[in-house]
């Protein structure tokens, strides 16, 4: 383990902060100061490594220009949700530590490359470089594999409980009020309209989640519960899904009330 801090330093130096200027910098002034509060479960054994990985990951995110849906706040929420699920599923302290590491690193590929395309593999590759020699081989493999398997698009069945918890945590952050906020933030970022003017709600037509925000809610968000792995996450999802249904109901009412049809 003695060579490891070097590894972290090198990894950090290899990705100097880009774009460390501009209006987004202000938004980060606050999160920087609450670092000690944002990890609810801090397994003692892995505490130092977790704190170190968190600093490295933050260093990468603060220099990246990302949509608000995938910024460092998403990482922190996934860490917190993953900790909660891990605890609910009865994972031991060491396993909970591995879950936190996987959560911290799961989307780092997006921050490194500025693209979601193939990010799970990129994140896994980075996680491996960062963690090798800091954990035993089996644990490195557990974390790296969990990161590689977390992608929604690839729909890979989790090969371990660490992987199952990470998938669930990432998916829970796509539900509820925060999930909706993220859909609209991402839609704005990529220029995706809120809805299809001729038929705002996808009832008797094909879903086009890539083209319209409302369609994406039906295509992805409302299908998340059936793809959750753990009982703890399924329980946590219920209220969040109910909130999405309530939101859609009100949205439908407001849009239907419009006199200006297309
Ligand atoms: Fe994610």
Neighbours of 72 (CB within 10 A): 22
Taking alpha carbons only, the member of 99, 85, 195 closest to residue 150 is 99
Residue 204 CA to ligand 1 centre (angstroms): 31
Neighbours of 204 (CB within 10 A): 6
Residue 163 CA to ligand 1 centre (angstroms): 13
Least confident of 10-19, 70-79, 151-160: 10-19
Residue 127 CA to ligand 1 centre (angstroms): 14
Residue 40 CA to ligand 1 centre (angstroms): 19
Average pLDDT over residues 1-24: 37
Task: Answer yes or no: is pLDDT of 42 > 70.
Answer: no
Give pLDDT, residue 44.
55
Give pLDDT, residue 204.
87
Burial of 108 (0-12, 13-18, 19+ CB in 10 A): buried
As given in the structure block, the two tokens for residue 186 are 């991402």
Residue 255 CA to ligand 1 centre (angstroms): 31
Give pLDDT, residue 251.
96
Residue 13 CA to ligand 1 centre (angstroms): 24
Residue 202 CA to ligand 1 centre (angstroms): 26
Residue 120 CA to ligand 1 centre (angstroms): 9
Average pLDDT over residues 45-63: 94
Please give the share of the chain, as a percent, with pLDDT higher than 70: 82
Residue 88 CA to ligand 1 centre (angstroms): 20
Residue 51 CA to ligand 1 centre (angstroms): 19
Give pLDDT, residue 36.
47
pLDDT digits (tens, 9 = 90+) for 160-203: 999 999 999 999 999 999 999 999 999 999 999 999 998 999 98
Average pLDDT over residues 3-31: 38
Residue 37 CA to ligand 1 centre (angstroms): 21
Residue 70 CA to ligand 1 centre (angstroms): 7
Residue 68 CA to ligand 1 centre (angstroms): 12
Residue 87 CA to ligand 1 centre (angstroms): 20
Task: Answer yes or no: is pLDDT of 37 > 60.
Answer: no
Average pLDDT over residues 152-158: 88
Q: Work out the pLDDT band at 230, boundaries 50, 70, 90.
A: very high
For the chain, give me the number of helices (H) and strands (E)? 12, 0
């Amino acid at each position: 383990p003695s060579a490891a801090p070097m590894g972290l330093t090198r990894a950090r130096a290899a990705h100097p902060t880009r774009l460390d200027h501009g209006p987004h910098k202000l938004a980060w002034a606050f999160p920087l100061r609450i670092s000690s509060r944002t990890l609810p479960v801090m397994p003692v054994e892995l505490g130092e490594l977790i704190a170190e990985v968190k600093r490295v990951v933050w260093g990468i995110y603060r220099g990246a220009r990302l949509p608000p849906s995938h910024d460092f706040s998403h990482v922190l929420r996934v860490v917190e949700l993953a900790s909660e699920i891990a605890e609910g599923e009865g994972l031991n302290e060491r396993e909970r530590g591995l879950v936190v590491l996987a959560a911290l690193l799961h989307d780092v590929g997006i921050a490194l490359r500025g693209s979601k395309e193939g990010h799970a593999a990129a994140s896994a590759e980075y996680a491996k470089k960062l963690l090798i020699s800091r954990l035993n081989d089996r644990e490195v493999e557990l974390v790296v594999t969990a990161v590689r398997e977390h992608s929604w698009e690839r729909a890979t069945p989790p090969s371990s409980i660490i992987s199952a918890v990470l998938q669930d945590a990432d998916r829970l952050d796509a539900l509820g009020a925060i999930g909706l906020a993220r859909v609209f933030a991402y839609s704005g970022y990529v220029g995706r309209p809120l809805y299809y003017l001729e038929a705002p709600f996808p009832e008797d037509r094909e879903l086009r989640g890539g083209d319209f925000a409302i369609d994406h809610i039906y295509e992805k968000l409302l299908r998340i519960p059936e793809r959750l792995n753990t009982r703890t996450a399924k329980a946590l999802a219920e209220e969040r899904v109910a909130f999405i249904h309530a939101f859609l109901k009100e949205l439908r009412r407001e849009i239907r009330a419009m006199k200006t049809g297309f």
